[in-house]
Amino acid sequence: MPDILHRVGIRSQSMQPVYHALTTQAGLAGWWTSNTQGEGDQVGNIIEFRFGAGGFDMKVAALEEPNTVLWELADGPPEWMGTTISFELRQEDQYVILIFKHANWKEPVEFMHHCSTKWAVFLLSLKSLIEEGEGKPDPRDIKIDNWN
Amino acid sequence: MPDILHRVGIRSQSMQPVYHALTTQAGLAGWWTSNTQGEGDQVGNIIEFRFGAGGFDMKVAALEEPNTVLWELADGPPEWMGTTISFELRQEDQYVILIFKHANWKEPVEFMHHCSTKWAVFLLSLKSLIEEGEGKPDPRDIKIDNWN
């Protein structure tokens, strides 16, 4: 099945701030979408991410602090149904390496192409949040195409 | 086989400037890497892209002006061998929609994750080149990880 894959390296002496930004309401609101409800620090929790028109509900499916965060889509657009999103962290010298995977798309539809580009933008927003103290959540200034 | 997919929308009343930026030395040097040799406007041509340490030679495998550009890797890193890169353009109102595919990776290796993120950054550089007259080729200021 087609997957969206990304890799970013975040300058940080510890994985903890990155793990925190992936598992807390405040952290997630700081780089993905400011309209985030719920905490991601317990398996089974639902996190609600909202954008202008729609959004996604994610179920926290697995956590291994500070290395692994796995979400399963609980509700969202039909193309995302059945997909999972994982963040794998490891320390490599002064960088935290983040391996991202949005897996199990049924088909490589055009919306998947859009989401792939958009995830890169948001992961670089996460990098900014950790390195510079400020991310670019819900980045209307980084409009990648005619969808958003 | 795993593919890297992206979609960007470039504000332009015509596909021609985008097609030009994908098929000429000056265009390619304006958004991917300033150290680009060769023209991409004839099938069979080789275009040499060089970055700091290495680079890629691409053979122009197909062209359909102004909609399609297809490259096959002629020489480059082992992970890229056998891969193809395609740009499909279409006009949608005031946007040129660009569907990008770096296809036929043998394995979803970590370098593929890196290249996926990096392609997003370069395609947004292409968008800047067309919309604002200036891209961000070889973007050392957008260092996405510890590789570059």
pLDDT digits (tens, 9 = 90+) for B24-80: 999 999 999 999 999 999 999 999 999 877 889 999 999 999 999 999 999 999 999
CA distances from A76 to A44, A116, B51, B130 (A): 17, 16, 40, 33
Q: Is residue B148 part of a domain?
A: no
Q: Look-up: residue for tokens 């965060």?
A: A69
Local confidence band at B141 (pLDDT 50, 70, 90 cut-offs)? low
- Taking each helix axis as running N to C, give the angle between helix A110-132 and helix A16-23, from 0 to 180 degrees, rounded to the nearest 10: 130
Q: Is residue B89 part of a domain?
A: yes
If one counts the domains in chain A, the total is 1
Q: Is residue A146 part of a domain?
A: no
Q: Is residue B140 part of a domain?
A: no
Q: Are B134 and B46 in contact (CB under 8 A)?
A: no
The verdict on ipTM greater than 0.90 is yes
DSSP character for A42?
S
Summary count for chain A: helices (H), strands (E) = 3, 7
Local confidence band at B139 (pLDDT 50, 70, 90 cut-offs)? low
Would you say residue A101 has pLDDT above 70? yes
Q: Are A99 and A91 in contact (CB under 8 A)?
A: no
Instruction: List chain B residues with CB under 8 Å of A113.
Output: 5-7, 99-100
pLDDT digits (tens, 9 = 90+) for B81-105: 999 999 999 999 999 999 999 999 9
Written as six digits, the tokens of B139 are 């973007």
pLDDT digits (tens, 9 = 90+) for B107-137: 999 999 999 999 999 999 999 999 999 999 8
Q: Are A119 and A100 in contact (CB under 8 A)?
A: yes
Q: Domain span at residue A80?
A: 4-132
Is the Cβ pair A7, B123 closer than 8 Å? no
Chain B residue with minimum CA distance to A118: B120
| Residue B123 DSSP SS3 | helix
Q: Is residue A56 part of a domain?
A: yes
Give me the DSSP letters along A99-139.
EEEEE--SS--HHHHHHHHHHHHHHHHHHHHHHHS----S-
Residue A124: CATH number of its domain: 3.30.530.20
Would you say residue A38 has pLDDT above 60? yes
Mean predicted confidence (pLDDT) in A97-111: 97
Instruction: List chain B residues with CB under 8 Å of A116.
Output: 4-7, 116, 120
Q: Is residue B143 part of a domain?
A: no
Rounded to whole angstroms, how far apart are CA atoms B47 and B36? 7
Cβ-proximal residues to A69 (8 Å cutoff; 6+ apart), any chain: A19, A22, A23, A40, A60, A62, A63, A86, A87
Flag whether residue B9 sits within 8 Å of chain A, measured between CB atoms. Answer: yes
